[in-house]
Amino acid sequence: MRPLPPYAELLGLSTRRSDAGELLFVMPFGDNVLGRPGFLHGGAIAGLLEFAALGTLYDALGDAPARVKPINVTVDFMRGGTDHDTFAAATITRLGKRVANVEAHAWQLDRAKPIAAAHMNLMLRR
């Protein structure tokens, strides 16, 4: 796993592996991710989803050098994030030579009840 950039540090992000080996991103609740009182800021949630998607893609690419640029990003906010740790994981739905499609989901207490989801189309330059 590559080191996280400064914006990830601002969000307080950390990574871990699930028991099944899935890459998970964790964002703790705090003043730096606060939107309206008691709720996460939408930009912090979107940032978490983006890091999960890109991190999962870079993890799949391994040591192969590649530049990744977003083509399209769609974020769906499903419910407000409250004062709990927020988790995110992503799935690569297509990994081609020049384009990758990735879906990411964020949740808090129950993975079956996501607070947001993102779909990203990414251009790859290998």
Q: The CATH number of the domain where 51 resides is what?
A: 3.10.129.10
Asked if pLDDT for residue 121 goes beyond 90, the answer is yes
Flag whether 1 is in a domain: no
Instruction: Specify the pTM.
Output: 0.94
Domain boundaries, position 72: 6-125
Per the structure, the count of domains in the chain is 1
Flag whether 75 is in a domain: yes
The pLDDT score that the predictor gives to residue 2 is 67
CB 35 within 8 Å of CB 90: no
Flag whether 42 is in a domain: yes
Asked if pLDDT for residue 89 goes beyond 70, the answer is yes
The pLDDT score that the predictor gives to residue 4 is 80
